[in-house]
């Protein structure tokens, strides 16, 4: 057996001391790290739902993920009758027409002198539009055009031509239904979907509205007033829409207008052709009509010029 020497024993003792020192240091470091708050190295910090960034997507019911949150109150929407897209249904903050016109469906222009307003409804086709626009331009007269949303969507170039010529545009509903049988919600859909379609084609229908078929009552008038529109009827219907197959002629059209001539007269005509005979009597009679009205000492205005809106 080898005898234990002082030098070898000293080295063994030193090694044992060093080993014990490393063990003690490791224990101390472990205790210190365990006592400190924070996140373990390499781990992702946990985020509490209540502390998420305000720029994160709003995923509340009814909102689209990925859309920035809005501080404004949401606007109620209903499906568009034309496209299925959302149509705003919130009425304007202030009425864009005089309060005295609320509850009315105007048959004459209020307070007008010896002037006539020529108005044209569009809901079928655009067969008479080129001649109407040409005649109005040649005579230096402007009219007011009441368009359905369906017509505007099908004839965007026509809407642009009407607007470019400086003719005011009115709202004639989206699909031309009788209004007295509609709920208030459906009325809002019809009016606002038409407004959306007309605006998309380059026109602005506010604040003039004409009821399809002239069908209205106190409730429906109040409903369109609440949507920012004043209702405008007519003094005389030319009946040109009946066509030659309905016993009407250009002479009949003009004679009816002159027989009803009065200050503030509102004349109802139509852009489209008769579906049975393809006649466009209002467009064809327009030149003679304007000449005879002028000869009777009357001028011409649009509804917009007299600030009905």
Annotated catalytic residues are: 121, 270
Distance, in Å, from the CA atom of 197 to the CA atom of 149, rounded to the nearest integer, reads 5
Distance, in Å, from the CA atom of 250 to the CA atom of 288, rounded to the nearest integer, reads 9
Strands 208-209 and 77-79: unpaired
CB 261 within 8 A of CB 294: no
- Residue 303: both structure tokens together: 């509804």
Distance, in Å, from the CA atom of 249 to the CA atom of 280, rounded to the nearest integer, reads 10
CA distances from 254 to 5, 73, 143, 249 (A): 139, 53, 16, 9
CA distances from 219 to 99, 211, 224 (A): 17, 13, 9
- Residue 26: both structure tokens together: 């490791």
The dihedrals phi and psi of 205, each to the nearest 5 degrees, come to: -80, -15
Residue 267 pairs in a beta bridge with 118, 236
Residue 13 pairs in a beta bridge with none
CA distances from 280 to 122, 126, 165, 244, 292 (A): 12, 10, 21, 9, 19
């Amino acid at each position: 057996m080898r005898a234990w020497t002082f030098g070898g024993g000293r080295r063994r003792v030193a090694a044992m001391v060093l080993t014990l020192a490393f063990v003690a240091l490791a224990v101390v470091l472990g205790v210190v790290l365990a006592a400190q708050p924070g996140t373990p190295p390499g781990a992702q910090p946990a985020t509490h739902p209540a502390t998420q960034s305000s720029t994160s997507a709003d995923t509340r019911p009814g909102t689209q993920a990925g859309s920035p949150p809005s501080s404004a109150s949401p606007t109620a929407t209903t499906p568009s009758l034309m496209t299925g897209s959302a149509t705003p249904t919130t009425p304007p903050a202030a009425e864009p027409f005089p309060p005295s016109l609320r509850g009315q469906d105007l048959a004459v222009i209020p307070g007008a002198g010896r002037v006539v307003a020529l108005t044209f409804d569009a809901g079928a086709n655009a067969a008479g539009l080129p001649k109407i626009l040409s005649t109005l331009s040649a005579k230096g007269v402007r009219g007011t055009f009441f368009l359905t949303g369906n017509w505007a969507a099908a004839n965007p170039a026509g809407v642009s031509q009407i607007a470019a010529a400086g003719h005011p545009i009115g709202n004639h509903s989206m699909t031309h239904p009788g209004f007295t049988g509609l709920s208030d919600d459906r009325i809002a859909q019809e009016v606002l979907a038409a407004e959306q379609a007309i605006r998309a084609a380059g026109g602005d229908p506010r604040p003039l509205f004409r009821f399809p078929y002239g069908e209205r009552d106190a409730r429906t008038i109040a409903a369109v007033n609440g949507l920012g529109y004043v209702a405008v009827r007519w003094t005389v219907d030319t009946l040109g829409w009946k066509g030659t197959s309905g016993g009407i002629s250009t002479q009949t059209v003009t004679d009816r207008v002159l027989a009803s001539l009065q200050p503030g007269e509102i004349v109802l005509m139509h852009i489209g052709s008769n579906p049975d005979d393809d006649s466009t009597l209002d467009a064809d009679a327009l030149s003679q009509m304007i000449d005879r009205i002028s000869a009777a000492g009357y001028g011409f205005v649009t509804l917009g010029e007299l600030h009905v809106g």
